[in-house]
Amino acid sequence: MSGGLRYEYRWQDGEDYKRPTKLPALKYMNLLMDWIESLINNEDIFPTRVGVPFPKNFQQVCKKIVSRLFRVFVHVYIHHFDSICSMGAEAHINTCYKHYYYFITEFHLIDNSELQPLKEIDRERYAIKRAMDKFTFRLYLSPRRPFPFHSVNVFMCIGKLRDYFHLMFIQNNVKWLQQHHRLGS
């Protein structure tokens, strides 16, 4: 999947694609959504029962997920933004990206160097930044005007990851408070 002239994203999942493999964007995104779904549904990585601890590699898994989701934003902004604007859906994609960006920066889930492709785009397209600052949300997912990629899936993944991080944050703080302030005694 291409991220412009300077960036190319190759798929590797360790199972079907053992080495980084160049794929068309649609296949890359479909594999990505399937891969994320399999991780999120894995109880060993994303426990759903109270009291079950998160695995030690939980943050690494989440960082890998959000870095790969970022690649979708890069591809969409670089190769399809004109189409999105012609549909009148730029506010939707900009809002999705803004929520995504705030989430990954709040939890330090992605290295700043990985954000570089869209930083370059922001310099070239001031309109994107201006539209993001308006923070309007118009949803264009009617049957007559389908959105060109799995935006709902991306939004749901980000929401679910946010929930897990908040749960992990609360669990860690309760343990810390119990250890240091002897709550309940």
9: Cβ contacts below 8 Å, ≥ 6 apart: 1, 2, 3, 28, 71, 74, 75
Q: How many residues does the chain have?
A: 185
Structure tokens at 143: 């049957």
Displacement of CA 50 from its chain's centroid (Å): 25
Q: Which of 86, 166, 105, 102 is nearest to 135 (CA)?
A: 102
C-alpha to C-alpha distances, 145 to 149, 153, 156, 177, nearest whole angstrom: 12, 17, 20, 50
Task: Say if residue 108 carries a ligand binding annotation.
Answer: no
CB 11 within 8 A of CB 17: yes
Task: Say if residue 80 carries a ligand binding annotation.
Answer: yes
Instruction: In whole angstroms, give the CA distance from residue 9 to residue 11.
Output: 7
Instruction: In whole angstroms, give the CA distance from residue 95 to residue 122.
Output: 15
Annotated binding site: 75, 80
Please enumerate, by residue number, every residue annotated as part of a binding site for Zn(2+). Answer: 75, 80
